[in-house]
Structure 1
Amino acid sequence: MRPQALAAAVCLVLGAGLLTGAVTGSWLAGDSGDDGARGAFAEAGELWHSVPVDQLFPPTVQGRGAGPGGADRTWTRVAVAPDGGCKGAFDGLLAKVLDPVGCSRLLRATYTDATRSHVTTVGLLFTKADAAAMTALANRFEKEGLGRRTDLMPLPYAAEDTVAAGFGARQRASWTVSVLTDAPVVVYAVSGWADDRTVDEPEPAEEATESGAASAPAQAGLGHEAQGLADRVERALRKNVGQATEQPS
């Protein structure tokens, strides 16, 4: 048994030496394995001034299967808000909840559906936070159900001389808020009717898109409007992050 034990000991020592050498080499080369993720996170935070608005908020957005029952949707952009800070862009309580991640820039655009009966504002809040702070905020939204609270709805962007001219706080019908953890961005959307009707009982898109939902926003498909546009704008954002972080061969 002695030769076998001796051979096992030699293999263990050699294996430990190889592992230590590999780790040391990785440190010397500066390759932590997370550099790519950190680079993409940082690049995403700069997209607001490096990517044309038509790429972040396309003039026309196709929503295949985005409507109730998997129906297709098409949204047309009717207005883009001037980019700027977050002062006055959110109700006070939501602004307080978002305050820990800061505000670097806020981009917003408002769309209408093909029938011009619905309007939806979609926003990209570029924060000043690092990945840990974004993860903490995302966890808080999840654990405390903040995305379903009617006192934390985002505000719409109403533009004069458009179908969304009367789209104000009292016209909000459904909404969604998504805190990204792989980019310093909060994506949100809020929808309503284009005829300026007020809504007494708005419903979060998460609930309004459930099968059998019977509320007025759900029956009108306004939950699908908010969720569908938010999802596609988020996809466009991620696509641009990928392009921005590509390295030349």
Structure 2
Amino acid sequence: MAPRAAAAAACLVLGVGLLGGATTGFLLTGEDDSPAVSAQTAYHDAAALWHSVPVDRLFPRTLKGEGAGPGGSDRTWTRIAVAPDSGCAKALDPLLHKALRSAGCLRLLRATYVDATQSSVTTVGLLFTKADAEATQALRTRFTEQGLDRRDDLMPRPYAAEGTAAARFGDAQRASWTINVLTDAPVVVYAVSGFADGRTVADPQPAAEAMKQGATTAPAQAGLGHEAQGVADRIERGLRKAVQKSTEQPS
């Protein structure tokens, strides 16, 4: 009888210990509401990435675009220039700057890439805003519902660096673009593409339109919609990985 009682007592102690451990773990990790806590932490951490993450992580020297080209073809882009981090007033078209004003401009980081054939150039930007999550969601809603991301008078400006393949990549050379207001980070990701030979484009087209099957505009035929979207997507993915890594690091 005594051994059975001892065994029962041991099981009770072990059970209480496991329960206590589980409770402690719950209190320490906040597991029940961790998605909300994690999202808030990630949003907050993302705002500081512009000065805490090396440029080669935000804008890798080479981007691999498997299946990113027309018809699912592969693409490779090489970084040829990085602009000094700056404000938005001079780097953005006045109308686009006005459209983004409600979010505030904390910092704007930009880089320009050239494709493997040296025939197209793409400037990609990461606009870090001062907005909280609610204001960011409102900005995204306004951009999508009002079609601001598809208006050619709100195209992002390119970064033309002297002595590179993008030296002649000015406002008149803009061919296709994409703008994405993120909601899980205070960041607007954009990209604008054009021909590397400096030719002007009379009918610039949003990347989403230029990528449609059967599109016949010059940007569509040259695959410049795919260039803008492909570069923007990969920079955005890199940003999300940087945010995830920052939230995983012990405070």
User: What is the TM-score of this pair, normalised by structure 2?
Assistant: 0.86
C-alpha displacement of 1:34:
2.1
Q: What secondary structure does 1:110 align onto? A: strand
Counterpart of 2:150? 148
Give the 3-state SS of the residue equivalent to 2:208 in structure 1: helix
- State how far apart, in whole Å, the 1-side matches of 2:203 and 2:173 are: 10
After superposition, residues 185-224 of structure 1 pair within 5 angstroms as 185-224=187-226
Q: 1:244 aligns with which of 240, 243, 246?
A: 246
Q: Does residue 131 in structure 1 map to residue 133 in structure 2? A: yes
Partner letter of residue 161 of structure 2?
Answer: A
| Partner residue in 2 for 1:168 | 170
Provide the residue aligned with 2:55 in structure 1: 53
Match for 1:166: what amino acid? R
Q: Which residue of 1 aligns with 2:87?
A: 85
Structure 1 SS opposite 2:71: helix
Q: Does 1:64 align with 2:52?
A: no
Change (3 A) 1:119 1:36: same
**CA-to-partner distance for each residue in 1:25-84, whole Å, 9 max, x for gaps?**
99x999686221111001011000010000000000000000000000000000000011
Question: Which residue is equivalent to 1:35?
Answer: 37
Aligned-partner residue type, residue 199 of structure 2 = R
Q: 1:69 to 1:30 in 2, by over 3 A?
A: closer
Partner AA of 1:156 in structure 2: P
For 2:6, the equivalent position in structure 1 comes to none
Counterparts of 1:212 and 1:60, CA distance in 2: 30
- Aligned positions, number: 224
Q: Secondary structure at the match of 1:85?
A: coil
Q: Distance in 2 between matches of 1:62 and 1:98?
A: 30
Letter in structure 2 aligned against 1:35: V
Q: Which runs of 5+ in 1 are unaligned?
A: 1-24
Q: Name the SS of the counterpart of 1:105 in structure 2.
A: strand
What is the RMSD of the two structures over their aligned residues, measured on CA atoms? 2.0
- State the alpha-carbon separation in 1 of the partners of residues 106 and 174 from structure 2: 25
> CA 1:33–1:72 in 2, change beyond 3 Å: closer, same or farther?
closer
**Which residue pairs with 2:8 in the alignment?**
none
Distance 1:111 1:217 in 2: 17
Amino acid at match of 1:177: I
Give the corresponding residue for 1:12: none
1:148-175, CA deviations, whole angstroms, 9 ceiling, x for partnerless residues?
1000000000000001001000000000
CA distance in 1, matches of 2:137, 2:143: 10
Residue type matched to 1:116 in 2? Q
